Amino acid sequence: MNRMERRTAFLDLAGIKSIPKAIQSEIEELMKFRHALRKLESQTQQSNEEFGDIAVGILKEQTRQLRGLSEGRLNVPRDWKIISTQKLMNHYKERFDAVSEDDLNYWASPGSDAEEYLQIAESSYRQHRTQMTRIFVVSLSDLKLKTASVDRLLRRQEQAGIGWAVAIRGEVPYEVKHREIPLDFVLHNGNKAVSLSRKRDRRYETIFATDNADGLGPYQQMYKDLIPACWLVNQRFIDNYKGALPDKSRDENEIKELTQERNKRLAGLTEIESEDKVFVLVVTKTEDTAVKVKKLVKLANDYSRPTRRKVNYPAVLRKVS
């Protein structure tokens, strides 16, 4: 048995009978580098023990990523989010549809990667005309206390080519916001991949649509079920959001049914500004953003008074496992 056969004989146990020459070459090269690294670790064990620790950490991270990719997932440290986002947007150029929850501090902080993140999105919009939307799920208290921050955030999103919407957290149905899906994700090209920040272990994960991966349907459904709670939008969001709906015709009808009930409750408080009566307030000129945010705060306050009752959503919403 020659050297290559000895080193790959274990693959027979996994039912792999033939290995393409290109793969054989890669395996041979990896084994060569691994052997050289072990030798170097041994040589520096006394003089530079830290080198070995660093090398082991890097190899563990690479192994973790390789394992994830074999399951249709890219799982990287949170600090690698920008690199991951850039690579994803280099390949998925058609659509970018996101949901963000209670993260005004992130977008406002000069120490975060928010601006770099937006620059990647803006570049994709300028170069490829990527259709982009983002739903911000915001509490009424944040809208009241951070009106100026919300105004700056929405203006910057508009500048980056993003169609934005503001959903009031208190108007999101209980069964929607308590699903086992974080309200912080990005859908790439509709149903090709979804990226999300995992707060429990500070990782940034992308799940690809493959035979081995779970369906991305629940994330598309979540996006769609947040639409009726979006009371303030810009015109670009109206123009772009329908392309993110998993079943456009059926979903549009469900959204209209839900918003019709809401609009009845709003009768006497305001006029519904979007032509299809789905969105309450619409910003058509960037300079009107601050005025519309303040109007949204007043409207939400009036709407939520004890004499008025919330819309009863459950009869129409589909359950998502």
Reported confidence tier of residue 321, pLDDT bands at 50, 70, 90: very low
75 falls within a domain: no
pLDDT at position 9 is 57
Kindly report, residue by residue over 73-86, the tens digit of the pLDDT.
Answer: 999 998 999 999 99
Percent pLDDT > 90 in the chain is 59
User: Does one domain contain both 237 and 158?
Assistant: yes
102 falls within a domain: yes
User: Does one domain contain both 56 and 113?
Assistant: no
User: Does one domain contain both 88 and 64?
Assistant: no
User: Does one domain contain both 88 and 65?
Assistant: no
Angle at 154 between CA 238 and CA 170, to 5 degrees: 75
311 falls within a domain: no
- Structural domain count of the chain: 2
State the residue range of the domain holding 282: 84-303
User: Does one domain contain both 58 and 95?
Assistant: no
Indicate whether 99 pLDDT > 70.
yes
User: Does one domain contain both 179 and 238?
Assistant: yes
User: What DSSP assignment string belongs to 167-236?
Assistant: EEGGGS-HHHHTSSS-S-EEEETTTTEEEEEETTTTEEEEEE-STTSPPSHHHHHHHHHHGGGEEEEEHH
Kindly report, residue by residue over 287-305, the tens digit of the pLDDT.
Answer: 999 999 999 999 998 887 7
User: Does one domain contain both 57 and 124?
Assistant: no
User: Does one domain contain both 237 and 112?
Assistant: yes
User: Does one domain contain both 188 and 253?
Assistant: yes
Task: Compute the average pLDDT of residues 37-44.
Answer: 85
User: Does one domain contain both 44 and 93?
Assistant: no
Higher pLDDT, 2 or 270: 270
